[in-house]
Amino acid sequence: MKAKRCVKTKPRGAGTLGRGRPSGLASSPRDLRGKQQALGKRSAPRPQGRGAPNEDLGSRPQGMEKINFSGGEPFIHDRGEYLGKLVEFCKAELQLPSVSIVSNGSLIREKWFQNYGKYLDILAISCDSFDEQVNVLIGRGQGKKNHVENLQKLRTWCRNYRVAFKINSVINRFNMEEDMTEQIKALNPVRWKVFQCLLIEGENTGEDALREAERFVISDEDFERFLERHKEVSCLVPESNQKMKDSYLILDEYMRFLNCTKGRKDPSKSILDVGVEEAIKFSGFDEKMFLKRGGKYIWSKADLKLDW
């Protein structure tokens, strides 16, 4: 997730609702290996290379209702074409009620919506500020592109191609005093997820970190002030560090659950090797917090009844 969630670079998903099986998964397409195998029969063969989706896989997910692709920038690989095939597979073959993506939006083209929009339920775009100078400061700059203008274009495409539009914002030291009320209301997303900047050992803090995020961190009081400033925004869904840390089921590119209970991402064994029910025991997933933070919501565009 780029320098975002400052950063929690893997996607979010859902929980283990009903008989210990995941109703939703968050999956990182950085490598894009094994997605179909993970979603199909547990006896599916281990993927060979990075080719197109395996046509021999089973088409019944194990209790899943939702999958969310994120982590890194999902549209980088093959200009989003492979991601599109994954989205189509999950919706058309597995018939999951909800398929979603988290992206910074910089690489998305209208042609992608033309080809794959009908298979996608929700597109979440990361936007941490409506001030372009702040975006550049926190690593959200997109070169010659204006991040805010691109966000508005993506909003139009989502409306035209009937994809529910969502915004994710990470509140940090550089944007915590901003008032985004009018801009969010104008864009009118189905959900505005507002995250408190979270440190993860080995990812954005510590000796082996991919990036250093200590300077982005804010206090709980700072976060609460931001929420109070935006209390009139009806679509706002806040997630403090306490709510966020253990309330997501996260899969990496090797189909391992990532356990964040110790402040870092400790991988389980791959579900391709031991199956979902065994691997999920080591996920550290907090189902009660998942439900408390509103993780279960109307996530299929067929049920949202939007006025396109």
Q: What are 109-140's pLDDT values in tens digits?
A: 999 999 999 999 999 999 999 998 998 888 77
Residues of the chain with pLDDT under 50: 1-22, 30-61, 201-202, 204, 209-210
Question: Which pLDDT does position 77 carry in this prediction?
Answer: 92
Question: Which pLDDT does position 165 carry in this prediction?
Answer: 98
Q: What 3-state class would DSSP assign to 221?
A: helix
Q: What is the pTM of this model?
A: 0.77
Question: Which pLDDT does position 247 carry in this prediction?
Answer: 80
Question: Which pLDDT does position 64 carry in this prediction?
Answer: 82
Question: Which pLDDT does position 131 carry in this prediction?
Answer: 93
Q: Is 281 left (phi over 0), alpha (psi -120 to 50) or beta?
A: alpha
